[in-house]
Structure 1
Amino acid sequence: MQHDKRMAKDLYASQHGCHLNKNEGLYVRGSYYNKEKKVSVGAEYNKMKREAIKNGEQRVNISELGRRCNVGWDYAKKVASEIESSGRVIDPSEVYQTRDVPRGPGSIAMDQTDCFVLLFLYLEEPSRTLSQYVHLLAVLTGTLVDRSTISKWFKDAFPVSGQLCRPNKVPIDKFRPNNIMKAYDYLLILSQIAPGRIVYGDEKLLKGSELYNRKTRRNMFTGQVPPCFTHSDFRNTYCIAGFCTTNRNKTPVYFDIFQGVMDGDEFAIILEGAIASGFIMEGDVLVLDNATTHNGLMDYLWGRYGIFLLFLPARTPEWNPMELLWNALVQRLKLIPLCVLRDIQQDATAHAAHFVLTLTTHEEVDSYFTHCEKYY
């Protein structure tokens, strides 16, 4: 009967990834008991020690200690040795820190030569996969490690975590001599203009599908993915034309949203509105990219309004603060609850974008300008 009970307990434990020791205590292979369990074993040891002294015995029965606490003999012996040597139960984390073993990410599996080779491979090509690092390290040094060891080394071996992230795509023709000379000319002109007189402009295509593209959890029982009910605005496409400035005498952002596709005439109408509202004034410098919708505006703005139009160098979107503003817009739109969007009867995407852009502050725009200046 006792044997049958143990078999039943052992079967139940194995179904949950656990095992039974000789004293019918549960444990997980490769894992340690927590501090609370260790303290309880230590308390029982002290109790048994007082009983042993009272009965005139010289030592505590470790096997009996293990049976009382449902732990193995080795674990009971370890706790007893700690109490006898240090007078207390040592925290498991403290035991780990005081072990006399090599430390650091991959320190046991890799030596300094391996770490140097990994660093050289990273500097040679930062976009390598973990599998490529494993293969090349084995070829160059003969050291065989798992991908998790490489990942932990990049994450913990340096002051800044070297985790994988999405890079900025840089076209190779950006560094043609002609493009570089234009970039120098642009920076020279920009350096001679008061920051408060500079206005950046750009357009953004916003689809309703981007706003309603939310993740959902798969049904744990059936495996089906539940549908996400969206607004009829799901398939609509909107265009936003916007301008930003660091001038504290104006609002930080001027924008206009409309349904459809942006063309030169539509952009010119929105630009006229920004000028009429006083956001862009005579003597200001308007910075735009080289999109076809901006062609033919230079002579018109200078001759009629006294506004100088400056074009960004080719392949330099990272120099335009409006790109950061659009990125912040998209990220904040994802935070709006779907129930709120469904309550909007018409043009939910446009209303949500208008709400987010209206809340943009001067401090945020200043940070976008500062961030772009790091790439000059």
Structure 2
Amino acid sequence: MAANRDMIEASMVAAGFCINNRGGAYRNGEARPIQDKAAVARKYFELEGNLLAGQRISVQSLANSCAVSWGFANKVVGEIESGQLVDPKMKVQGRTHGTGALTLSFEDGFYLLHLRKLNNRFTLKDYAAHLAADRGTFVSRQVISKWFLTAFPFKGSIRKLNRIPIDKFTDNNILRWAEYMYRVEQVPRWRLVFGDEKPLKGADLFNRSGRADPLTGLVEDFVIDSDWRNTYAITGLCRIGRDRPPFSYIIHDGSNNAAVFTDFVIQNLASGFLQPGDFLVLDNASIHHFQEAAGLDAYLWNYHGIFLQFLPTRSPELNPIELLWNTLMQRLKHFPLGDEYGPRSHRVAHAAQMLMDAFSHEDVDACFRKCGYI
């Protein structure tokens, strides 16, 4: 039997076929015909009939049973779930590049854009269901995914959404936003100083993801510091004027409070980072308003000529230092862990200090530019 199988495989190879690792035959560079999809679909429904309630068919088992690749079996499963098998010979040719463009008409694509505009949180299954119900177009989720990724210059991939509280758009908040924008327009950009606080966890230094060994499938353990759950607090100020450093900060154990923030402002007055004529912008956190910080705005204006402006409610996108914190977190994830970077007991604090000391005018400029100030 083995000899006969070898002879058959040899004759198929001679005829231009390739043999996959499951013993199935295919032609390299050619789409499998609809008959192959139908055979896999029949096996799918046969296996489905033997499942218990709530179980799903293993694509790997389906591929093994039909002697096809995992990718082809997965494609057939997707088309079955979308409601129709797609015949490769029936694909519309001569359109834009990409798998999706070969199976979706211009009108279908326009409708997908319309659906995305209605709700950008739709899943691929939602798009497929709407196309089938509203336009009578039956395509797989893979086709829709490829269309979003290849039909236009920008990839329509899944991105993390900004969550905006609905009370951000109350009449009072809109009025405060307009007042803020008007005041900022009157201030030279090099006079703007933005402040904020950032909690920092020891775990932020360690990237929790790693690649598995492709030979064994194993993922090695990762040795971390014993105090990786420690929490620190950072208070910072940033500016783009070239007459002074771009960034000032303090970092300490625990959390921030009004006393720590007020002391930090006084220190920056003494060091010259804050100077008469500056326009200091803070968010509406309570540590900027109450307890030791109560009356700070009057003190800064009456004794130092520094105007304190609070951001509109729920407007972190107007604070460049928020982007600077993001830069810090991204760089922390790629920071080396050698002992030369500080004692193991407070590695994340030392790493954060080294990275913040290295913040340049260009780093801060980029954050100001992203927020629309320059």
Q: Does 1:248 align with 2:242?
A: yes
1:143 is matched with: 137
Partner amino acid, structure 1, of 2:179: D
1:122-156: per-residue Cα shift (whole Å, max 9, x none)? 11111211110000110001111011111111111
2:67 is matched with: none
Partner amino acid, structure 2, of 1:101: Q
SS in 1 for 2:345: coil
How far is the alpha carbon of 1:158 from its aligned partner? 1.4
2:365 is matched with: 366
1:314 is matched with: 313
Q: Is the 8 A contact 1:283 1:306 kept in 2?
A: yes
SS in 1 for 2:248: strand
1:260 is matched with: 254
How far is the alpha carbon of 1:303 from its aligned partner? 2.6
How far is the alpha carbon of 1:30 from its aligned partner? 4.9
Q: Does 1:164 align with 2:162?
A: no
Structure 2 CA distance for partners of 1:26 and 1:158, relative to 1, 3 Å: closer
Cα distance in 2, alignment partners of residues 122 and 220 from structure 1: 37
Structure 2 CA distance for partners of 1:268 and 1:238, relative to 1, 3 Å: same
Cα distance in 1, alignment partners of residues 214 and 7 from structure 2: 28
Q: Is the 8 A contact 1:239 1:259 kept in 2?
A: yes
Q: Could you tell me which of 172, 175, 183 is aligned with 1:178?
A: 172
Cα distance in 2, alignment partners of residues 330 and 341 from structure 1: 20
Cα distance in 2, alignment partners of residues 184 and 151 from structure 1: 40
The gaps in structure 1 that reach 5 residues or longer are 14-18, 35-99
Structure 2 CA distance for partners of 1:111 and 1:207, relative to 1, 3 Å: same
2:323 is matched with: 324
Range that drifts further, 214-223 or 134-143:
214-223
Cα distance in 1, alignment partners of residues 338 and 254 from structure 2: 26
Q: Does 1:197 align with 2:195?
A: no
1:326-371: per-residue Cα shift (whole Å, max 9, x none)? 0000000011123358863432111100111111111121111111
2:28 is matched with: 32
Q: With structure 1 as the length reference, what TM-score do the two structures score?
A: 0.74
How far is the alpha carbon of 1:6 from its aligned partner? 5.1
Aligned pairs for 1:261-280 within 5 A: 261-280=255-274
Structure 2 CA distance for partners of 1:360 and 1:223, relative to 1, 3 Å: same
Cα distance in 2, alignment partners of residues 360 and 31 from structure 1: 56
Name the % identity: 39
2:5 is matched with: 7
How many aligned residue pairs are there? 303
How far is the alpha carbon of 1:159 from its aligned partner? 2.0
Q: Is the 8 A contact 1:6 1:24 kept in 2?
A: no
Cα distance in 2, alignment partners of residues 256 and 10 from structure 1: 75
Cα distance in 1, alignment partners of residues 285 and 342 from structure 2: 36
SS in 1 for 2:175: helix
Q: Is the 8 A contact 1:263 1:293 kept in 2?
A: yes
Q: Is the 8 A contact 2:128 2:144 kept in 1?
A: yes
Q: Does 1:102 align with 2:94?
A: yes
1:222-263: per-residue Cα shift (whole Å, max 9, x none)? 876543211133021110000000100111101111111100
Cα distance in 1, alignment partners of residues 212 and 156 from structure 2: 32
How far is the alpha carbon of 1:177 from its aligned partner? 0.7
1:186-207: per-residue Cα shift (whole Å, max 9, x none)? 0111011111111000000000
Q: With structure 2 as the length reference, what TM-score do the two structures score?
A: 0.74
Aligned pairs for 1:33-182 within 5 A: 101-104=93-96, 105=98, 106-182=100-176
Structure 2 CA distance for partners of 1:271 and 1:152, relative to 1, 3 Å: same
SS in 1 for 2:338: helix
Cα distance in 2, alignment partners of residues 342 and 306 from structure 1: 41
How far is the alpha carbon of 1:216 from its aligned partner? 3.0
The gaps in structure 2 that reach 5 residues or longer are 31-91
Structure 2 CA distance for partners of 1:115 and 1:335, relative to 1, 3 Å: same
How far is the alpha carbon of 1:305 from its aligned partner? 2.1
Structure number, greater radius of gyration: 1
What's the Cα RMSD here?
2.8
2:349 is matched with: 350
Cα distance in 2, alignment partners of residues 7 and 266 from structure 1: 79
Q: Does 1:187 align with 2:181?
A: yes
